[in-house]
Amino acid sequence: GAGVSQSPSNKVTEKGKDVELRCDPISGHTALYWYRQSLGQGLEFLIYFQGNSAPDKSGLPSDRFSAERTGGSVSTLTIQRTQQEDSAVYLCASSLTRTGNYGYTFGSGTRLTVV
Amino acid sequence: GQQVMQIPQYQHVQEGEDFTTYCNSSTTLSNIQWYKQRPGGHPVFLIQLVKSGEVKKQKRLTFQFGEAKKNSSLHITATQTTDVGTYFCAPGAGSYQLTFGKGTKLSVIP
């Protein structure tokens, strides 16, 4: 597609439920990243995928968070047993190269609210 | 990832005034990127600086990379209301984990 597509744009879930967030990167972009942005805060790195290499999961805040990328394209971020502190905007970005030399293109994000 | 500090955290300016945000690192950076996030929006890539002492301009925006490649700045001349948003710097390359500064939130008073 022309840009990075994320769905849903908004998600309200009850505490303890599982949620899945989807990211469809720009076609041809080999690198894909997930970030989290709490209200009025900066961006917190979560996970990085590059081609067929093992993902860098060093930013995942707990084992309730997991992500996969199928076929080197679409990625899904799963949060199990959601907590209120998981409420944030989850942003996906993709880049043409491993080092993002041409910048990262972000999606519009998924606003997750845990009630 | 490499850590950077951005200052100021907030800046309120009268429309037409200039604005500068600074990004500082304790270690030498291989390059640095700048992003703008409008209120309610997502970060948008502005530019990447690679060379020591590099200066790049985009209309009213001037980006600089320090000689020691440890700091960078973004200067906006004669701010307009369309400049409102949060400006983030991010050290890039050498580490694919792009770490963002906490950003400078710019408010422009018309």
Contact A43 B88 (CB under 8 A): yes
Q: Greater confidence, B14 or A1?
A: B14
Closest chain A residue to B105, measured at CA: A40
- Of the candidates A86, A87, A85, A89, the one whose C-alpha atom is nearest the C-alpha of residue A108 is A89
Contact A23, A74 (CB under 8 A): yes
- Of the candidates B8, B5, B28, the one whose C-alpha atom is nearest the C-alpha of residue B86 is B8
Confidence band, pLDDT 50/70/90 cuts, at residue A52 = confident
Tens digit of each residue's pLDDT (9 = 90 or more) over B68-95: 999 999 999 999 999 999 999 998 755 5
Tens digit of each residue's pLDDT (9 = 90 or more) over A63-88: 999 999 988 799 999 999 999 999 99
Residue A99 clears pLDDT 70, i.e. is over it? no
Contact B1 A48 (CB under 8 A): no
Tens digit of each residue's pLDDT (9 = 90 or more) over B39-57: 999 999 999 999 999 999 9
**Alpha-carbon span B81 to B110, nearest angstrom:** 7
Residue type, B13: V
Q: Which residues from B are below 8 Å from A43, CB to CB?
A: 43, 88, 100
- Test mutation, B2, B32, B98, B107, chain A, max A CBs within 10 A: B98
**Alpha-carbon span A108 to A90, nearest angstrom:** 9
Residue B21 clears pLDDT 80, i.e. is over it? yes
| Cα-based angle B100, B101, B102 (whole degrees, multiple of 5) | 115
- Of the candidates A112, A102, A115, the one whose C-alpha atom is nearest the C-alpha of residue A34 is A112
Determine contact: B103 vs chain A, CB below 8 A.
yes
- Residue % of chain B over a pLDDT of 70: 93
Q: Which residue spans within A1-115 are E strands per DSSP?
A: 5-7, 10-13, 19-24, 31-37, 44-50, 65-69, 75-79, 88-95, 105-106, 110-114
Contact B44 A59 (CB under 8 A): no
Determine contact: A66 vs chain B, CB below 8 A.
no
Phi first, then psi: give them for residue B81, nearest 5 degrees: -60, -25
